[in-house]
Amino acid sequence: MSTRALILRAAALILLVAFVTMPQLFAFAFAPLTANNAPAIYNQGSLLALTLSHVRIVVLATLASTLLALALGIFVTRPAGREFLPLSRSLVNIGQTFPPIAVLAIAVPLVGFGEKPTFIALFLYGLLPIFENTLAGLTEVSPRTLEAARGMGMNARQRLWQVELPLALPLILAGIRLSVIISLGTATIGSTVAAKGLGEVIIAGLQSNNVAFILQGGLVVALLAVLLHDGLGLIERAAARRLGRPVDEIA
């Protein structure tokens, strides 16, 4: 990443932190977007608390998606699990087949309002990219590499943990990055079922016809997406360099 890009990302991080911790400092910028003396800054809760809640549910859902998708990806690339590949693909595609709002509608009667239905929706929605990238990473490991590891006396478990997973790591991280970015945007709909998050700001703006609120919620989500995308991208490129792979292979 160039020096200019790093400066821009640092500026975006400073702007994000400043806005969620001291939003009133930016009231002058949003005031022209209001009408009828409406508040320029969201005043129905703490932007910092909502941002932390938003990130928290995304992180928890992504961790759960990663654990299941990684386990399935490993299982179906083993000789004993290859016949279950079509079934596994069908399972991880559930989240992409049904819109998140439909998952919420189904989950609310089962688990109630709040974070739980949002977690379920994000968990299901995040499975596919992680699973497919895990599958691609593991299947792209050279048979010669595996044969060399076998010749060194490694058993199947050692080959998996010491050879296959390290070589597949950049692609797995790319899938996790995509899952996080998808979840960040999707999590905003969780506020329709009383989950704490930045969707509250956007919905409040829609209900009161306050464009300033809508823009504030969207701006924070967008900055989070950019910063997390770049941060996870740096980790992917570092992993690729350790393996001696061109970084554009995982871009």
Distance between CA atoms of residues 58 and 62, nearest Å = 6
- pLDDT (tens digit per residue) in 14-52: 999 999 999 999 999 998 988 888 899 998 889 999 999
Per-residue tokens: 68:
């299941």
- pLDDT (tens digit per residue) in 192-206: 888 889 999 999 999
Which of 101-105, 109-113, 234-238, 245-249 is predicted with the least confidence, judged by mean pLDDT?
A: 245-249
Residue 244 pLDDT = 66
Distance between CA atoms of residues 158 and 164, nearest Å = 9
Of the candidates 82, 94, 168, the residue with the CA atom closest to the CA atom of residue 128: 94
Distance between CA atoms of residues 244 and 142, nearest Å = 15
Instruction: Answer for the pair 136, 171: CB distance below 8 angstroms, yes or no.
Output: yes
Distance between CA atoms of residues 187 and 201, nearest Å = 13
Residue 248 pLDDT = 53
Residues in the chain: 251
- pLDDT (tens digit per residue) in 148-177: 988 888 888 888 998 999 999 999 999 999
Residue 251 pLDDT = 45
CATH architecture label of 52-249: Orthogonal Bundle (1.10)
| Residue carrying structure tokens 């050692």 | 158
Q: Which sequence spans correspond to the domains of the chain?
A: 52-249
Residue 134 pLDDT = 95
Residue 74 pLDDT = 94
